Chains A and B, each alone.
Chain A
């Protein structure tokens, strides 16, 4: 969409996380050939340390792969400044650009000095020009050569850019760095000279050479892959980098203090050793509609292919009912793959509503058309919960909050050719159990939509707070299998934390001793 908008001369910013760029990689690769009319910046955030992602890929490779300029802010102010620069460079060189953030840049906040808003003041409109916008081979080959020529000009732009600078202090050590690592470097090596890159690709070669010639030794500090380091070496510059700075996981001042000690041959003081504390992994919220689904699946001998929303938390003990996660939409397509491979068990695939619309439909079509037999469960909590409760095509509102047509998951299922489509209330465990069992048994693909709104979004209790009658509790621990954070186990019996309970009542339904009941409200 952004690509087309840009061809019509509109400026566009398109935001995503690193794995999102995998999905958008196909258009990006060729847009690099077409070039842009209005500036286009893909703002992509990496997640070193995998705080909430399934991998740790380094987006800087994409800039190289697509042959587009790369900008790397190291704090909020630079995020603003480099976005403007990226937009300017994009328009001047008629290329898409990537602004690469990381979790720490995106989730840090600091004061930003704003500038004046300058409207682009141009007329929007697409002007037909096939040799520029149609990369069939005859024209595409020309574009291909233009890309190389553009890269040459971009190198000079990066070399001259004020986003790349040298800070001269003690010249015995010079550090080449970019992104958030710059901020850590300034604290850990306050006396070192620094080459800071904000416009970091195409590589500003003359800067590396000039910087290296003026310092006694060079250290490259970058987060994730040794991209700068390898390039600096390729220029014939001896440097250190990945031998002392970790290449896996997130950097931090602590990590770099250790790196500095390693480099200087000092042994870190022995840590007193951390006390053994119980880990506190994330869990489905109290009252989450996804919980009962996993509880029911826990009673069936099926393989469960999962996906990336809040329901990915169903993979943890004690629910432990999600067997694979690969990428957005894989809950559906991997179900088909496992089944076609001939796994002797039945397969249940899980996706959320947002994921279904985003990348589940093609997989579903494949299952129906290629005569699969898996059961697909769409956990429709009427929102995109994991990423912060955004709207999606099922909610009937656009991201801007405007009213729109809510799209029916069931109707899409039928239109894809799935004949067995049904809807259940995920809080009705009996109904869920019957539906899942019947559909798993059926020799045809089926779609079950489990629909109930996310209570964290709705911000209200589902029912009365439940309490455990400690005398009646037999200590069977069945309620613990729900993985509800409100249910605590205190030695012999369960206890429900009244501050956390959302009153969904699932525990009351499964307690064989009948020990759980709604709290009586006094007054």
Chain B
């Protein structure tokens, strides 16, 4: 019952990017791989274009659904500065998967705040293990921009020991039938970014 056995992943992005579906697939995959799982995500206000964070934890026995700072094995981000916002969750040797998408917060467009310059540089300095990929472009190349979340999840999966069959089954179980194919392809595309 050692707590060290518990694995944590934090998925972040902007409301509407499909974080919740990605979280659902990851949770399913962890269940299929034989673990007890807890997930947490806050809906409501945040989903209207706000900053969204989902947390997934699994192991033999999981207590808190929330991840403690410095303990997440992987941080997956669908937007680049959101990765910086939640960087503190990542364990020192953890893997960050960051999509190059930049979605301007309203505070930037109104001039109240500035979007950081040289985000790739900031990311490199913040994360020792970084996969920086353009998930939106990869998804567009496959013909479905909304599958960007699965591209990121595919890259996230390379930092976790969950068998590929469990990932596939989880996608099949969580996604509407007519989108299964495209989501599987997006997930595969993500895996090639390691």
Chain A residues close to B by CB (< 8 Å)? 51-52, 75, 103-104, 107-111, 180, 183-184, 186-187, 190, 252-254, 257, 274-275, 277-285, 310, 313, 316-318, 386-388, 480, 483, 485, 487-489, 497, 499-500
CB <8 Å contact, A190 and B44: no
Given A109-B39, A111-B37, 11 more A-B residue pairs with CB atoms under 8 Å apart are: A52-B43, A107-B40, A253-B67, A253-B68, A278-B113, A279-B107, A279-B113, A280-B106, A283-B106, A313-B48, A485-B49
Minimal beta-carbon separation of A290 from chain B (angstroms): 11
Residues of B within 8 A of A275 (CB): 84, 116, 122, 126
Minimal beta-carbon separation of A20 from chain B (angstroms): 14
CB <8 Å contact, B107 and A111: no
Residues of A within 8 A of B110 (CB): 317-318, 480, 483, 489
How many angstroms between the C-alpha atoms of A318 and B31 in the bound complex? Answer: 44
Residues of A within 8 A of B116 (CB): 275, 277-278
Residues of A within 8 A of B129 (CB): none
Stretch at the interface among B57-65, B151-159, B164-172, B180-188: B57-65
Q: List 21 A-B contacts (CB under 8 A).
A: A51-B46, A104-B40, A109-B38, A183-B64, A186-B64, A187-B63, A253-B68, A278-B81, A278-B113, A278-B116, A279-B105, A279-B113, A280-B49, A281-B106, A282-B50, A317-B106, A485-B49, A487-B109, A489-B108, A489-B111, A499-B136
Which residue of A111, A252, A254, A488 is within 8 Å of B109 (Cβ)? A488
CB <8 Å contact, B145 and A51: no
Chain B residues close to A by CB (< 8 Å)? 3, 14-16, 27, 31, 36-51, 62-69, 81-82, 84-85, 88, 103-116, 122, 126, 136, 145
CB <8 Å contact, A277 and B84: yes
CB <8 Å contact, B106 and A316: yes
Minimal beta-carbon separation of A99 from chain B (angstroms): 18
Which residue of B38, B50, B64 is within 8 Å of A184 (Cβ)? B64
How many angstroms between the C-alpha atoms of A497 and B136 in the bound complex? Answer: 13
Minimal beta-carbon separation of A255 from chain B (angstroms): 10
How many angstroms between the C-alpha atoms of A483 and B109 in the bound complex? Answer: 9
Chain B residue at minimum C-beta to C-beta distance from A281: B50
CB <8 Å contact, A489 and B40: no
How many angstroms between the C-alpha atoms of A107 and B43 in the bound complex? Answer: 8
CB <8 Å contact, B107 and A278: yes
How many angstroms between the C-alpha atoms of A416 and B110 in the bound complex? Answer: 41
How many angstroms between the C-alpha atoms of A180 and B85 in the bound complex? Answer: 25
Count: A-B pairs, CB below 8 Å: 146
Minimal beta-carbon separation of B134 from chain A (angstroms): 13
- With A277-B81, A280-B50: A104-B109 Cβ-Cβ less than 8 Å: no
Residues of A within 8 A of B46 (CB): 51-52, 282
How many angstroms between the C-alpha atoms of A88 and B109 in the bound complex? Answer: 55
CB <8 Å contact, B66 and A278: no
Q: Which of A190, A480, A499 has the most CB of B within 10 A?
A: A499
Query: Closest 5 A-B residue pairs measured CB to CB?
Result: A52-B44, A278-B113, A282-B50, A108-B65, A253-B68
CB <8 Å contact, B50 and A107: no
Chain A residue at minimum C-beta to C-beta distance from B126: A275
How many angstroms between the C-alpha atoms of A480 and B62 in the bound complex? Answer: 46
Chain B residue at minimum C-beta to C-beta distance from A105: B65
How many angstroms between the C-alpha atoms of A499 and B101 in the bound complex? Answer: 11
How many angstroms between the C-alpha atoms of A104 and B43 in the bound complex? Answer: 11
Which residue of A103, A108, A257 is within 8 Å of B39 (Cβ)? A108
How many angstroms between the C-alpha atoms of A487 and B110 in the bound complex? Answer: 10
How many angstroms between the C-alpha atoms of A283 and B49 in the bound complex? Answer: 6
Residues of B within 8 A of A284 (CB): 48
Which residue of A107, A109, A274, A282 is within 8 Å of B88 (Cβ)? A274
How many angstroms between the C-alpha atoms of A280 and B51 in the bound complex? Answer: 6
CB <8 Å contact, B48 and A75: no
Minimal beta-carbon separation of A88 from chain B (angstroms): 27
CB <8 Å contact, A278 and B108: yes
CB <8 Å contact, A283 and B48: yes
How many angstroms between the C-alpha atoms of A75 and B51 in the bound complex? Answer: 25
Residues of B within 8 A of A277 (CB): 81, 84-85, 116
Q: Which of B36, B65, B110, B145 has the most CB of A within 10 A?
A: B65
How many angstroms between the C-alpha atoms of A253 and B15 in the bound complex? Answer: 25
CB <8 Å contact, A280 and B14: yes
Q: Which of B44, B85, B106 has the most CB of A within 10 A?
A: B106
CB <8 Å contact, B38 and A75: yes
Residues of A within 8 A of B40 (CB): 104, 107-109
Which residue of B43, B106, B126 is within 8 Å of A388 (Cβ)? B43
CB <8 Å contact, B113 and A104: no
- With A283-B48, A316-B106: A183-B63 Cβ-Cβ less than 8 Å: yes
